[in-house]
Structure 1
Amino acid sequence: MVAFEEGIEWSDFTGNVPSLDERIWARSDQAPVAGEERIIQVSHPFHLAIGETFWTLFMPARSSLNGWDSYPSEIDRSAFVQFSMEQVIDLNEEKAWVKINIHHAVYLKDISSILPVRDGSGALNFFHLFDPPNVSTYGDWILLDANAQSNLGVWALIHKTAERSHLAAYGEWGSHSYLVYGGNLIIPEKELAAFLNT
């Protein structure tokens, strides 16, 4: 799965929406479910025509604003979501309220059990181009995060099971790009240990 991470904010609105000038409104904690309609606010670099299909990363309200490192309990409620845009409710030059239809929701906690396993040897090599990354552990999850003076960065979310380490999500960001990749890559323990032992 290839998804966009930026430019989408999830709401629980079902009818009337706030003005696009309103910056303070309640972001959603409700995880998307296949088949439902939702209303989201989108902004640059989001660009989609009516009927087009799109993947994004859903994070509940607190972690979407502050990151999983601040709200690790929300990792299990985060998901890759595929949707199509159904209707533009309101728009201006910077953003829009749109209605979407959810096609698929693949939760990060389920990736290691539902997606096919692939070899992830070398998948974390890009982290070696940076200073040692920040490493955080939360239960079965390991989060790696590294950046170059906040201009370019990468992060990886690894799910530890009894047998293996599964790279469930990998993100790259720069001045105009915020992409997230989802899959089930098995990271060799020796390669992961190089980050855990620094």
Structure 2
Amino acid sequence: MDHDRKHFIKAIILGDSAVGKTSLMNQYVTKRFTQQYKATIGADFLTKDLVVDGKPITLQIWDTAGQERFQSLGVAFYRGADCCILVYDITSTKSFESLSSWKDEFISQSNCRDPDNFPFVILGNKLDKEPERKVSNTKASQWCLANGNIPLYETSAKDAINVEEAFQFIAKKALANIKEDVYQPSIEVKKQQKKKKEGCC
């Protein structure tokens, strides 16, 4: 029965303002892109049903505001996250340099039990602006390696480059990480219930 059970995965997207967090989420879920920039206020989310390794998944993607004045809202949104997507703009050195602080903030506010093994994924967005690139793939890869060998995808929300692939990988990585939490407790509960029933008889 557990094989057919639908798994729920909560993913958080973090990064500076205007790196394309909302656009990536919208491109993946709705296959739409708009040139009009509208800052996210607080947080918003979309869900998408998909199949990973033969298992039905509901992926809930939380898009949080990048503005500093909204970062205090993070605690409620970060907790319960199964994976964290850190986004930077390949044409913005500042957004890339902010990755460490976003990663640290997530770890401190989410209360994740094992930060070293928590599923992080880095997305270098706006690949459609390659001529304006300021952050090389090599530099980004080196940062990922130094921070626990975090997977890196360079994406374009505008042209839908690597967006589907990145989110599929994110869902797969998160699912692999939560498998023990999903299955083991249910087994233990069943055993305890069985013992109680035997005791009553």
TM-score, normalised on structure 1?
0.24
Q: Which has the higher strand share?
A: 1
Q: Which has the higher contact order (CA 8 A, sep 6+)?
A: 2
Larger C-alpha radius of gyration, 1 or 2? 2
